[in-house]
Amino acid sequence: MQIQENVSLKPYSTMRLGGNAKYLAEVHNKNELIELLQWSNGMQLPTVMIGEGSNIIWTDNGYSGLVIVNKISGFEVERIDTKQAKFTFGSGEPWDKTVQRTVELGYSGLEQLSYIPGTVGGTPVQNVGAYGQEISNVLVEVEAYDSQTDQFVIIPSEQCGFGYRTSRFKTNDKRRFFITAVSVKLTKQHLQPPFYTTLQQYFNDRNIHEYSPAIVRQAVIDIRTSKLPDPNEKANNGSFFSNPIVSDSVFEKLNQQFRDIPHWIVSKNKYKLSAAWLIEQSGFSKGFQDIDTGMGLWPKQALVVVNNSAKSAKDLQSFKDKIIKAVETKFDITLEQEPETITNPSDN
């Protein structure tokens, strides 16, 4: 196990921006994790564990502690009965390869989450979701090292504090747990319609009436690759802003002024709005390029902020501020950033 010093963090965020880490090390198993944590504790360093950096942004100040890059592997299957099985994945496994393996074994439950970048360990943190599925719907438990009690713990799904794109790992217990494994329960039963609108449209257009995990996975991959940039080719963090959730009174007021405002009812008195639509209506169309900052929007999806030629994380911040201000001026709604900006204790 090698601890490197003064390492550029640009390759450790798919936005490819940020300063240097004081220390950085890869971790391959639980023993190495304990060793690293003992070392960083001894040095009194702030410590963060990351996967592929597909949901994080570093600042130009970098990170003044230890960055642990997760490479913990593992893939185990435990059959429950003829139809169901419990799968346990090492948290450093690449997520999409893991989904592919479950699909190849004929199991359903993860196919709608195909092609999401990142590691297995990143998925419970923001309760990843796509095409009508969320990891919390199939997650059984998470294994993690608890830095408060200095021991490995098993956290059942009900105790993960899951919500829309959130969990206790992202909120109340941020940085407390170092996730080492994730278990899910999957089934051999195929999904049935109706599907999420774009997925259903895909099946209708192609006259597809069979919904094996492999067929659904292929549909999701086709749709995603037609709409989203590959972070290996164009630096980005996927959806940069969350879709705002507003009260019915706020919605009614907006709807009177903007009759065509896209919306979804999420619960009693709560409406979800389309952040992409708000951004486009505020003067930032798909493919917008900001000459001042080198940032822009993806030509097929206005919600995806891309780094065309930015020189620093400050450029991203300026571009983000421009969008937030324009949306606030037009709609009186403040957009919130979805990827996490990782800061140093001394920056705050």
Q: Which residues are catalytic?
A: 165, 239, 338
Alpha helices in the chain (DSSP H): 30-42, 95-104, 197-206, 213-227, 248-257, 275-281, 313-331
Question: Please, which residue, 55 or 102, has the CB nearer to ligand FAD?
Answer: 55
Q: How far is CA 166 from the centre of its chain?
A: 10
Among 35-43, 78-86, 120-128, 268-276, the segment contacting ligand FAD (CB under 6 A): 120-128
Q: What end-to-end distance do the CA atoms of the chain give, in Å?
A: 31
Residue nearest to ligand FAD (CB): 51
∠ Cα 246 251 334 (to 5°): 50
- The count of chain residues that interact with ligand FAD, using the rule CB under 6 A, is 35
Is residue 295 part of the contact set for ligand FAD (CB under 6 A)?
Answer: no
The full DSSP string for 121-162 is GGTTTTT-EETTEEGGGTEEEEEEEETTTTEEEEEEGGGS--
124's CB contacts (< 8 A; 6+ apart) are 135, 136, 139, 142, 160, 162, 167, 169, 179, 182
CB of 175 to ligand FAD, least distance (A): 7
Which residues have C-beta within 8 Å of that of residue 220, sequence separation ≥ 6?
Answer: 111, 112, 113, 114, 115, 130, 131, 199
SS3 187: strand
238 binds ligand FAD (CB under 6 A): yes
Q: Which is nearer to ligand FAD, 68 or 273 (CB)?
A: 68
Q: What are phi and psi of 109, to 5 degrees?
A: 140, -30
Piece of the chain touching ligand FAD by CB under 6 A; list 27-35, 228-236, 243-251, 280-288: 228-236
Q: Which stretch binds ligand FAD (CB under 6 A): 22-30, 59-67, 115-123, 293-301?
A: 115-123
Q: Which is nearer to ligand FAD, 37 or 254 (CB)?
A: 37
Please check whether residue 231 is in contact with residue 295, taking contact to mean a CB–CB distance below 8 angstroms: no
Q: What angle do CA 114, 115, 116 make, to 5 degrees?
A: 95
**For residue 300, what are the contacts with CB-CB under 8 A and spacing of at least 6?**
226, 227, 228, 286
| Closest to 53 (Cα-Cα) out of 342, 321, 303 | 342
| Beta carbon of residue 301, minimum distance to ligand FAD (angstroms, whole number) | 10
Residues 122-161 as x/- pattern, contact with ligand FAD by CB under 6 A: xx-xx-xxx-------------------------------
Q: Most distant CA pair in the chain: distance in Å?
A: 61
The answer to the question of residue 14 lying near ligand FAD (CB under 6 A) is yes
Q: Which is nearer to ligand FAD, 83 or 300 (CB)?
A: 300
Residue 143 and residue 120 in contact, taking contact as beta carbons nearer than 8 Å: no
Q: Which of residues 328-347 bind ligand FAD (CB under 6 A)?
A: 340
User: Which two three-digit tokens encode residue 187?
Assistant: 């089934």
Candidates 32-40, 81-89, 176-184, 212-220: pick the segment binding ligand FAD (CB under 6 A). 176-184
Of 66 and 130, CB closest to ligand FAD? 130
CB of 135 to ligand FAD, least distance (A): 8
> Is residue 119 a contact partner of residue 236, using CB atoms and an 8 Å limit?
no
Output the CA–CA distances (angstroms, integers) from residue 80 to 175, 186, 310, in the order listed: 33, 10, 51
Does the footprint of ligand FAD cover residue 91 (CB under 6 A)?
yes
In angstroms, what is the minimal distance from the CB of 307 to ligand FAD? 11
Q: How far is the CB of 205 from ligand FAD (least distance, A)?
A: 21
Provide the minimum distance between the beta carbon of 200 and ligand FAD in the complex, in angstroms, as a whole number: 17
* 163 sits near ligand FAD (criterion: CB under 6 A): no
What residues between 48 and 77 interact with ligand FAD by CB under 6 A? 48-56, 70
Instruction: Please say which residue, 106 or 129, places its beta carbon nearer to ligand FAD.
Output: 129
Where does this chain bind ligand FAD (CB under 6 A)? 14, 48-56, 70, 91, 116-119, 121-123, 125-126, 128-130, 165, 169, 177-179, 228, 231, 236-238, 340
